[in-house]
Structure 1
C-alpha cells in the first residue's frame, strides 16, 4: 500500500491563540500518552488522563494520522488505510487548498503517487492515467461514493477543491468496490459535510495573472439540536494563457442534515457544477516531435467555439444505527449532465502551403440522466471468538444517454500559423440525434474483514454486476445496426491479508480480479456490444508504517497487473476486429512524509512503472499499396502512460506567522501512440509560495506556479499536443471566523 502523508493545516488538537506553545505542549503530551499507552512505572499504576480540548488555528503543518484515519477509499468497511491491503491516498481538502491546488487534477497528481493527468476538452478535462492504464474507464471518478458514469468517455465533475473535505485515491483494480472498469484505480471526492457541534465560516478571494479572479464562500454548523447544514460556493474566471483562452466556472455544494432521534439521520445534498473551460484543442507539431515555439499559445479553434458542461447531483441519504454493531445506510440519487461542443478540433501542418489545416468540425450535445439507489448494512460482531466486520449491499442504476452530432464532421479550413484568423464555425453536415442508449443495472456486493489474531487480519470482497444496454440508433453513422441490446454480467473479487507485527507497522498482500468494458458501458454501440468485458488481474504486496510518535509515515508497494481480451485487428484481415489482445504493467510506488521539527515538513512520493502490450496488433495503412495491414505492437509501451513520476513538497515555518513552501512535480517521457515512434519529452515543474498570517482569522498567500516558465506538453498524439500553462502568479486571501 502506498499512502501519501498529507497533514492537515489545522492541528489535530488546535493552537491556543493566547499561548500556542503551551497548547501544543499540553495537547502533545496528552495525545502521546493516550496513543502509546504510556507505560506505567514500577508500581504498575495506571493513570487516566482527562480529555483536553484546545481550539484555534494552527500556523503550520501538523502530522496527520492518515494511516490510522478511517477511510472509505479502499473498503466499504470504513477501516483505516493501515488495515486495508491496498494502495490508498487520503488527501485533505484543506491541505490541497492551502497548497494552492484549486483543481482536482492538481490535488491528485501533485499529492498521490503514480497518477498523471491527460485531460482534454474532448474527455472533460478530468482524465487520469494510473499503473499503466488510462482514460475515464480505467481510472474511475466518484463523488461522495457515487460513481459518475462517463458517456462517450466524458466526466467533468467535480473540478474545484473548495467544496471537498477530502479526496480519496485507490490505486489498482477497484471493480470489486465500484463495478466494471477502474482497473487503474478510482478517485473519490468527498464533499464538506454539515457540522453538528461547531461552526465554520470562511471566504477566499484570488487574483492572478491572465486576469484570473476567484471568489469562494463557505459556511456550516448546527441550526438547532436536530438540524445542521453546510453550504459552499466557488466561482472562477480567467482570460487564459492562450489567445481567446477565456474560461469560467461555478461550483456549488449544499447539504442539510436532520437527526430526529439518536441513531437515525437523514441528509439531503445538492451539488452543481457549471464549467466553461478554455476552448483550446492543442497545438500542431511542425514535424515528428518538433515544437514550433511561436505556435504555442496560439488558439487555432474557431472564434465562436463552444465547450459547456453543466452537472447536477442530488442525493438523499438515510443512516440508521439500531445497535453498536449494526449500521444501515441507503442513498437515493439523481445525476444529470448536459454537455455541448462546437469546435474545430484537429490541426495539421501542411509544409508545402505553409499553413495549418483545420478539420473535425465537431458539433455534439450530450444529455445524461442517472437515477439510482445504493443500500448497505454493516455488521461488527464476534465470530468464533474473533472480531468480524461485514458489509453487504446492493446498487441499482438506470441511465439514459443521448448524443446529437453532425457526424461525419466534414468541415475544414486553413489558417496562418502565426497570424491566425479564426473565422466562424461552419459545417455542411446536419445536426441531428445519432443515438439513444438506456442502461439498467443492478449490483450485489459484500466486504469482509476477519481478525485472526491481534496481528493478522484477512480482508475479502465480492461484487456481481448485471448491466443491460439498449442502443437505438437514429441514423447509421458509426454502425449500420439501428438497434441492439446487450447484457454484460461480471464478477469481481479480491482477497488480502494484513500482518501487523508491531503497532503501526503493517505488511500486506492482495490478489484481485476486475472487469473493464471495451468502451463506456452507458454508450456502448452495437459494434462493441458483441465483445465480452475485458478482464484484469492484480497481485500487490506492500509495507506501511507510522512512526516517530506519529510525526512520520512511509509506504512501499509493488504490483503486477494484466488485462486480457483487448480489441485488436485480425492479422490476416485488418478490417476484422478480434478480442485477443493483452496488456500488462508492473511497478513500484513509494511515499514518505516527515515532520522534521524547527518548522520543517517534507512530503515526497515516486512511481516507477513498466507497462507494455503483451499481445496487440494495430491496423495501419501500407504506404506502398494504400491498403490496411496489421502491425504487431507486442512489447511496446501503451500511449499516454508515463513510466516515471515523482513529487516533492516542502514547507518551512521560518518565523512566527510566516511560512515558505516549494513543490516539484516530475512527469517522465510519454509515448504518443501504440507504435512508439514518437514521444512527448519528460518535464519538471517547480511551484513556490509564501504565506503570512497577520491575524488569527486571515491568511494571505502569494504563489508562483511553473516557476521556471517551463514549456511542456501533458497530452496529445503524434501530430498535435496539449501544452500546460507558462509561469503564473496569484495572490489569495483566506478568511475564517
Structure 2
C-alpha cells in the first residue's frame, strides 16, 4: 500500500544527511531579528487578528459578536502541554471531560459536555464521532493554534455544537524562509519524547512543511505504559498570484494507558490504591487516524474569494478491557449497581469485559464564495455562501453478549489476570451517514462604529443502519433503519466599537444537538429528533496599553429543549425535557515592563435541569453530570534575562457530579505547573517542566460513579530544543 504524503516527505527530509548544511545556510535570521532562540512566546494581541473560526468572513475577534479565544501553538509548547486536550482545557470556560470511552478528548463548555455538545474540528472541518469517540489530532507539536468558540456554533458547523466548537489548526509551510526545529526530552514515569519539523520554500511557487513526533511513558499507574507517534506533511503550490493549492496528509497512532480509573474505597480515594490498575494484564487500547486534504483558494480580485476543501479521514479504534471496578461495602453491595451474587465485603468487584472496534471513514467537501462590497462612505457589506457535504461509513464490531467476566480482587495486592472472551469481537452492525448543508453569513458595516452580523445554515442528515449476524456461521446483513433529520439554525448579532480597540456586542444564536451519536443511530432513537437550544449573549472586548493588554468579558444564558424523559417507570420515553446554563466568562492578558507577563481567565456558571424526569424520578434543579460550575486559569511569565525565562501556571476546576441525582460528588482541585527555559546557545535551549508541583490527588474525570480517572502526579520533564 502506498505511503501517505507525510510519511514519504518525512522519509526524504530525515534520511538525507546532506540537507542540514544548506538548510543552516538558508535560515540565517534577517538583519535586526532576534538572535537568541525564543525560550517562550510572549502574549500576543489575538483580538485584532482575522480569524475564520468565529466567522466564515474572517472577522477579527473584536468584530465578532461571540466569545472567541485563541491559544497559540508556540505558547502551548512553551507551557509544556503534552496533549491537545490539555491545551484546550486552559481556554476560558473549557474543562477536560475525557476518558477512554470517548477517546480521551471530550470537553465541557458552558454547562454542556461530550462530543455531542462541544464540537471538534481540524482546520475548520468537523469530525463525526462514532459512539461519542474522537481520537484525532494526537500531538500538540503539530498545532499552529487552537481556536475556541464558546456558545452555539451550529450555524457555522452543524449539529452537535450547542456548548461550543474547538478548532485545531495544524502547522503550515513558511513561504518566506526555511525553518528547522526539534526537541528531545525525558522525565518522570520514564517518559520520553522526540519531535522535529522542517519547512520553507522549495521554489518561488512551491513550499513544504514536514513534522514528526514520538512519545512514550510507563504511566503513573501499574501497567500504564503508553506510546504514540504522529506524522504530517504539507505541500503549498501557488501556480498564479491569485490561486493557492494546498495538499496535506496527517497520520496519528496511539496506544494510550489501558487505565479506566481508580475505584473509591468507602466513598473516598485511598492513598494505598491510587496507583493500582485494575484492568487485566492483556487489555489494550489502540487508535489509528489518517487524514488527507486538498484545498484550493482562488482570489481573482480583492473583493472575491472562492474556496474549496476536499478531505478523507479514516479512523480505526480498538480496545478490549475489563473496565468497571467497585469496592464492595459491608452490606455486600456496590454503589455503582454492578453487584455480584456472592460479593465479599472489602474487595474490589471487576466487571464489564468489553471489546469494541470502530472502523470509520469520512469523505467530505466544503466550498464557499465570499464577496466584499463597498456601498458608500463608511458602509460596506461582506457576504459568504457555501455548502458542506459529508459521507461517513462505519462498521461497528463488539463482543457484547459474551459471558460476563466477573471477579473479585484484593484492593491492594492482586493478580490482574487475563481477558476471557467467549464470543470474540466481530462486526455487529454498519451504518452509512450522509450530511449536506447550505450556509450563508453576512456582515453589514454602518459607519466606523456599528456592524450587524447574521448567519443561517440548513442541514439535512440521513442515517442508515444494517444489523450483522452470523446464523450457522455465515454473515448476514439485515436492514434496520433509515432516519432522516433536518435542521435550520441561525444567529444575529451586533458589534459597537466606540473606538477601534473596544467592542461592545450582543448576539442571539440557535443550535441543535443529536440524541446520542448521529453515526450510531439505533432503532430506539428513530422516533426522536435532535434536541434544540438557543443562547442570548452580551459582552465586551478591549485592546489597551498600546497592544500589550487585552481583556474580554461575556454573560450568557443557554436553554436546551428536547431531552429524553420518562415521567413514570412504566410510561414511554418522551422528548420533553429541558436544561439550561447561565454564566459569566472573563479573560485578561498583560505584557508588563521588566519582562513580566500575566494571562488569566475564569468562569462562573449555574447549570441545571429545569424539567427532567427519568424513570419517574425528578432531577429538576440538579446540576448535570461532568459540569464544573467554576473554572480558572492563571499564567505568570518572567523574562529574567535575554537567556532565561520562568513560567508558572495555576489550573482550578470546581466540583462536579458524576450522576443526574447529584449523589456522587467529585471534589474541586487546583494544580500548579512551572517551566524554566534557558538558552544555552543562540540555537539551543534547555526546558525544565514541572507538573502538579504540589502533588495533588485529583480526578480528571470519572468512569462510573465510584471510579475516578486520576490525573498525573508530580512530575519533572527535561528537554532540549533546537531551532534554525
Please say whether Structure 1 and Structure 2 have the same fold, judged by a TM-score greater than 0.5.
yes
* Residues 535-572 of structure 1: CA deviation (Å, up to 9, x unaligned): 01000000000001000001100000000000111x23
**Corresponding position of 1:378:** 370
Select which of 384, 391, 407 maps to 2:384.
391
**Corresponding position of 1:368:** 360
**Corresponding position of 1:437:** 431
Taking the TM superposition and a 5 Å limit, the aligned residue runs for 1:490-505 are 490-505=487-502
* Residues 666-714 of structure 1: CA deviation (Å, up to 9, x unaligned): 0000011000112000000001111101221111111110000000012
Q: Is the CA contact 1:245–1:278 (under 8 Å) kept in the aligned structure 2?
A: yes
Q: Which moved more, 1:305-314 or 1:654-663?
A: 654-663
Q: Which moved more, 1:689-698 or 1:91-100?
A: 689-698
Superposition deviation, residue 61 in structure 1: 4.4
Find the aligned partners of 1:705 and 1:647 in 2 and give their Cα distance: 15
Q: Is the CA contact 1:295–1:417 (under 8 Å) kept in the aligned structure 2?
A: yes
**Corresponding position of 2:4:** none
Residue 670 of structure 2 corresponds to residue 670 of structure 1: no
* Residues 455-475 of structure 1: CA deviation (Å, up to 9, x unaligned): 000001100111111011225
Select which of 569, 580, 594 maps to 2:590.
594
Q: Is the CA contact 1:63–1:550 (under 8 Å) kept in the aligned structure 2?
A: no
**Corresponding position of 1:42:** none
Select which of 286, 295, 303 maps to 1:325.
303
Select which of 353, 359, 370 maps to 2:351.
359
**Corresponding position of 2:419:** 425
Select which of 252, 262, 282 maps to 1:304.
282
Residue 631 of structure 2 corresponds to residue 645 of structure 1: yes
**Corresponding position of 1:144:** 123
Find the aligned partners of 1:76 and 1:140 in 2 and give their Cα distance: 16
Q: Is the CA contact 2:507–2:538 (under 8 Å) kept in the aligned structure 1?
A: yes
**Corresponding position of 1:337:** 315
Find the aligned partners of 1:731 and 1:532 in 2 and give their Cα distance: 51
Find the aligned partners of 2:35 and 2:507 in 1 and give their Cα distance: 41
Find the aligned partners of 1:17 and 1:426 in 2 and give their Cα distance: 61
Residues 531, 730 of structure 1: alpha-carbon distance in 2 compared, 3 angstrom cutoff: same
Superposition deviation, residue 383 in structure 1: 3.6
Q: Is the CA contact 2:66–2:149 (under 8 Å) kept in the aligned structure 1?
A: yes
Superposition deviation, residue 720 in structure 1: 1.1
* Residues 80-120 of structure 1: CA deviation (Å, up to 9, x unaligned): 1000000111110011101111311111112x111110111
**Corresponding position of 1:282:** 261
* Residues 50-101 of structure 1: CA deviation (Å, up to 9, x unaligned): xxx7787545644412000111120111111000000111110011101111
Residues 575, 295 of structure 1: alpha-carbon distance in 2 compared, 3 angstrom cutoff: farther
Find the aligned partners of 1:316 and 1:187 in 2 and give their Cα distance: 22
Find the aligned partners of 1:689 and 1:683 in 2 and give their Cα distance: 20
**Corresponding position of 1:692:** 678
**Corresponding position of 1:256:** 235
Select which of 395, 400, 403 maps to 2:393.
400
**Tell me, what secondary structure is at the counterpart of 1:294?**
coil
Find the aligned partners of 2:598 and 2:564 in 1 and give their Cα distance: 44
Size of the alignment, in residue pairs? Answer: 674
Residue 99 of structure 2 corresponds to residue 106 of structure 1: no
Superposition deviation, residue 411 in structure 1: 2.0
Find the aligned partners of 1:59 and 1:209 in 2 and give their Cα distance: 22
Superposition deviation, residue 258 in structure 1: 1.2
**Tell me, what secondary structure is at the counterpart of 1:489?**
strand
* Residues 149-199 of structure 1: CA deviation (Å, up to 9, x unaligned): 000000010131100111111010110111111111111110111121111
**Tell me, what secondary structure is at the counterpart of 1:598?**
helix
Q: Is the CA contact 1:17–1:57 (under 8 Å) kept in the aligned structure 2?
A: no
Find the aligned partners of 1:655 and 1:264 in 2 and give their Cα distance: 44
Superposition deviation, residue 432 in structure 1: 2.6
**Corresponding position of 1:553:** 550
Residue 47 of structure 2 corresponds to residue 67 of structure 1: yes
**Corresponding position of 1:81:** 61
Select which of 72, 91, 108 maps to 1:92.
72
**Corresponding position of 1:184:** 163
Find the aligned partners of 2:613 and 2:574 in 1 and give their Cα distance: 10
Residues 519, 384 of structure 1: alpha-carbon distance in 2 compared, 3 angstrom cutoff: farther
**Corresponding position of 1:532:** 529
Find the aligned partners of 1:679 and 1:482 in 2 and give their Cα distance: 43
Superposition deviation, residue 427 in structure 1: 2.5
Q: Is the CA contact 1:411–1:428 (under 8 Å) kept in the aligned structure 2?
A: no
What TM-score comes out, normalization by structure 2 length?
0.91
**Tell me, what secondary structure is at the counterpart of 2:189?**
coil
Q: Is the CA contact 2:308–2:368 (under 8 Å) kept in the aligned structure 1?
A: yes
* Residues 560-586 of structure 1: CA deviation (Å, up to 9, x unaligned): 0000000111x2344621111000000
**Tell me, what secondary structure is at the counterpart of 1:446?**
strand
Select which of 444, 459, 481 maps to 1:465.
459
**Corresponding position of 2:601:** 605
Residues 524, 692 of structure 1: alpha-carbon distance in 2 compared, 3 angstrom cutoff: same
Q: Is the CA contact 1:356–1:414 (under 8 Å) kept in the aligned structure 2?
A: yes
* Residues 248-286 of structure 1: CA deviation (Å, up to 9, x unaligned): 101112111111111012111000110110000001112
**Corresponding position of 1:508:** 505
Q: Which moved more, 1:662-671 or 1:480-489?
A: 480-489
* Residues 203-235 of structure 1: CA deviation (Å, up to 9, x unaligned): 110110111000001001000011100111111
Q: Is the CA contact 2:600–2:635 (under 8 Å) kept in the aligned structure 1?
A: yes
Q: Is the CA contact 1:17–1:696 (under 8 Å) kept in the aligned structure 2?
A: no
Find the aligned partners of 1:280 and 1:359 in 2 and give their Cα distance: 14
Q: Which moved more, 1:340-349 or 1:411-420?
A: 411-420
**Corresponding position of 1:235:** 214
Residue 685 of structure 2 corresponds to residue 719 of structure 1: no
Q: Which moved more, 1:645-654 or 1:714-723?
A: 714-723
**Tell me, what secondary structure is at the counterpart of 1:293?**
coil
Give unmatched runs, 5+ long, in structure 2.
1-27, 333-343, 471-476
Find the aligned partners of 1:694 and 1:189 in 2 and give their Cα distance: 32
Residue 447 of structure 2 corresponds to residue 453 of structure 1: yes
**Tell me, what secondary structure is at the counterpart of 1:106?**
helix
Select which of 643, 646, 667 maps to 1:657.
643
* Residues 336-392 of structure 1: CA deviation (Å, up to 9, x unaligned): 000101000011112352321111100111110111100001111124662111110
Q: CA RMSD in A?
A: 1.7
Q: Is the CA contact 2:245–2:295 (under 8 Å) kept in the aligned structure 1?
A: yes
Superposition deviation, residue 655 in structure 1: 2.5
Q: Which moved more, 1:558-567 or 1:719-728?
A: 719-728
Find the aligned partners of 1:374 and 1:201 in 2 and give their Cα distance: 32
Residue 618 of structure 2 corresponds to residue 632 of structure 1: yes
Find the aligned partners of 1:575 and 1:207 in 2 and give their Cα distance: 58
What TM-score comes out, normalization by structure 1 length?
0.89
* Residues 448-490 of structure 1: CA deviation (Å, up to 9, x unaligned): 11101110000011001111110112259xxx99511011000
Taking the TM superposition and a 5 Å limit, the aligned residue runs for 1:115-126 are 115-126=94-105
Q: Which moved more, 1:466-475 or 1:321-330?
A: 466-475
Find the aligned partners of 1:733 and 1:420 in 2 and give their Cα distance: 40
Find the aligned partners of 1:645 and 1:496 in 2 and give their Cα distance: 27
